[in-house]
Chains A and B, each alone.
Chain A
């Protein structure tokens, strides 16, 4: 069943449980590049690991080095299964673009306005399709 549909920024297919973060997150200083755990005690879901999750982000903030953290996660096999962002983050997407150039694993990236996030219940198993649909797994 199709739950919602995003605009494809980087195409790809993926599957995993949803991790939905309602508060802004900064990958640099907010995500451990080795384990993928959320490490900012003042940020959302501290301790949760983003590896293998369909990561749904309401907003991003902070450092221009967040692209470096995502690249490190991609090369180390600890990246989210897919990124779903309310608004395209100019810094984060560079991590995915560079990983592809380097021949490392990449992930699909979708833009999905905040109103669509309600359909993606936290923890629900979903699949992301090449054309941007998010369906029940």
Chain B
């Protein structure tokens, strides 16, 4: 049985209005089903439920708006099914377009910030270590727990917005300190420094981790201490989309792993896995469903591309132009920064089309007819074959730039051999 405080009980009975009551009943009932003893106050939310999957989700959020709901904590929004800045770049049918627009408007009407990004942590939404929050979207959850050290479960659609309105979440899972300790140790001593310096190693490591440990908490040992944030972002996105990882630790890098022992909480590991170059190589190859050859399109930006990632892409292209359709998915804040710095004109002149507010695997954007898509994202590699009519080839950012110019897959294998 879930114990509600007098305050929480008053909310379910309508003290703070009918929308807060409905949200609190959903949170409390979910807590009861999950066996949570109580609820916990949360200080922020990130909502994944704003992506259109069918009319029922639109009616749900519109009900909350009719009941005059307002979020009780700062809340950011994940991607929707439309690019509101470049609407002509999405080719959804008229009904889906209309309903997706209604859905996005309703979430804004509840007081959520129209961030429309799967990387809210790179547009200023960064809770402190130890803070309890209620986030949705698998990569955002993994980053929030692992890199920021804040605490959230992998919240399903509708529980995220309910928690935002109620200001509470069920107290279980990754809110409980003990459940955040690693039980699996991943060793990387036999991998070369060259490989660890390669951007594309991190999404591959994530995809391997997700498949290997499913939902267990792992600590990875032996990675460089000065790891850029975008590598941790790619690692988490790979692990979350290829498994059910909500939290991972990197010894000497992430906040709950100052040392290997600290990440384990002083307990012995239940499992130890030593990575080999062969395993990493096989994990990389498993991200492709098509052989190397001619390409029909390229895409980057899952999670949404950062300024640093755009800089790196520009550097790799070195003034050359893509010969195939090339999509870079990002958010409005990054778009504005690119405009302000003058980079946007150069990026567009290189043949790159920028997609904001959404991405290529959640709504129709890629040219009709299908073909082979190349990406440096483990998450795009995971979802492209099932959500679009494209096969996928995975490569590094450097490979992407060379392949975009050549129109076929070009690889630098030095790091992987």
Q: Which residues of B contact A72 (CB under 8 A)?
A: 53-57
Confirm or deny: A113 has a beta carbon within 8 angstroms of a beta carbon on chain B. no
Residue interface mask B34-53, A partner, CB < 8 A = 1: 11000000000000110101
Q: For A61, A67, A95, A102, which residue has the most chain B Cβ atoms within 10 angstroms?
A: A67
A77-104 CB mask vs B (1 if < 8 Å, else 0) is 0000000000010111111011011101
Chain B residue contacts of A76, Cβ below 8 A: 54, 56
A54 to chain B, nearest CB (A): 19
Q: A61-B244, A68-B57, A72-B53 are in contact. Are A91 and B156 (CB under 8 A)?
A: yes
Is B234 close to A, CB under 8 A? no
A90 touches B51 (CB 8 A): no
Chain A residues close to B by CB (< 8 Å): 9-10, 28-29, 33-34, 40, 61-69, 71-72, 74-76, 88, 90-95, 97-98, 100-102, 104, 109
Please tell me if the beta carbons of B56 and A90 are within 8 angstroms of each other in the complex: no
CB pair A9–B33 under 8 Å, yes or no, is yes
B373 on the interface (CB 8 Å rule)? no
Indicate with 1 or 0, residue by residue over B158-202, a CB within 8 angstroms of chain A CB atoms. 111000000000000100000000000000000000000000000
Is the Cβ of A102 less than 8 Å from the Cβ of B60? yes
Binding site secondary structure of chain B = helix
Stretch from B23-31, B306-314, B321-329, B333-341 forming part of the interface with A: B23-31
**Chain A contacts for B353, CB-based, 8 A:** none
Task: Answer yes or no: B153 CB below 8 A from chain A CBs.
Answer: yes
Residues of A within 8 A of B26 (CB): 94, 97-98, 101
Complex: chain B residue closest to A102, CB-CB: B60
B33 close to A65 (CB less than 8 A): no
Q: Evaluate whether A88 and B156 lie within 8 angstroms (CB atoms) in the complex, with A64-B137, A101-B22, A102-B60 already known.
A: no
Report A-chain residues with C-beta under 8 Å of the C-beta of B141: 64
A62 to B236, CA, bound (A): 14
Q: What are 23 of the A-B contact pairs (CB < 8 Å)?
A: A33-B54, A61-B243, A64-B141, A64-B154, A64-B155, A65-B48, A65-B156, A68-B54, A68-B157, A72-B54, A72-B56, A74-B56, A75-B59, A90-B30, A91-B157, A93-B30, A94-B30, A94-B158, A97-B30, A98-B26, A98-B158, A101-B22, A102-B63
Q: In the complex, are the beta carbons of B53 and A68 less than 8 A apart?
A: yes
Tell me the number of A-to-B contacts counted with CB atoms below 8 Å.
105
Query: Does B136 touch A at the CB level, under 8 Å?
Result: yes
Cα A71 to Cα B383 with chains together (Å): 22
Chain A residue at smallest Cβ distance from B170: A90
Known A-B contacts A10-B33, A33-B54; A101 and B159 likewise in contact (beta carbons under 8 Å): no
| Residues of A close to B5: CB separation below 8 A | none
Contact partner of A67 (CB less than 8 A), chosen from B22, B158, B243, is B158
- Asked whether, in the complex, the Cβ of B244 is within 8 Å of the Cβ of A71, the reply is no
Given known pairs A68-B49, A71-B60, A102-B60, the reply for A90 and B158 (CB within 8 Å) is no
Q: Is B138 an interface residue (CB 8 A)?
A: yes
Which residues on B are within 8 Å of A, measured CB to CB?
22, 25-26, 29-30, 33-35, 48-49, 51, 53-57, 59-60, 63, 136-138, 141, 153-160, 173, 214, 243-244, 383, 386-387
CA distance A19 to B25 in the complex (A): 31
Cα–Cα distance between A88 and B154 once the two chains are bound (Å): 14
Q: Would you call A71 and B158 a contact (CB within 8 A)?
A: yes
- Min C-beta distance of B281 to chain A, whole Å: 22
Asked if A64 contacts B136 (CB within 8 A), the reply is: yes
Q: Is B154 a contact partner of A91 (Cβ separation < 8 A)?
A: yes
What residues of chain B lie closer than 8 Å to A71, measured between beta carbons?
Answer: 54, 56-57, 60, 158
Beta-carbon contact of A65 and B157 below 8 Å: yes
Q: List A contacts of B34 (CB < 8 A).
A: 88, 90, 93
**Given A67-B158, A94-B159, A101-B22, residue A88 in contact with residue B53 (CB < 8 A):** no
Query: Which chain B residues lie closer than 8 Å to A40 at the CB level?
Result: 386
A63 to B56, CA, bound (A): 18
Question: Which of chain A's residues have a CB closer than 8 A to the CB of B137?
Answer: 64
Q: Give the chain B neighbours of A97 by CB distance below 8 A.
A: 26, 29-30, 33
Given contacts A68-B56, A94-B158, 9 further A-B pairs with CB under 8 A are: A33-B54, A65-B49, A66-B156, A75-B56, A90-B153, A97-B30, A102-B59, A102-B60, A104-B56
Contact yes or no, A64 B57, CB < 8 A:
no
Q: How far is the CA of A40 from the CA of B48 in the complex (A)?
A: 22
CB distance from B285 to the nearest CB of A (A): 17
Taking the closest CB of chain A, its distance from the CB of B227, in whole angstroms, is: 26
Whether B60 lies near A67 (C-beta < 8 A) is no
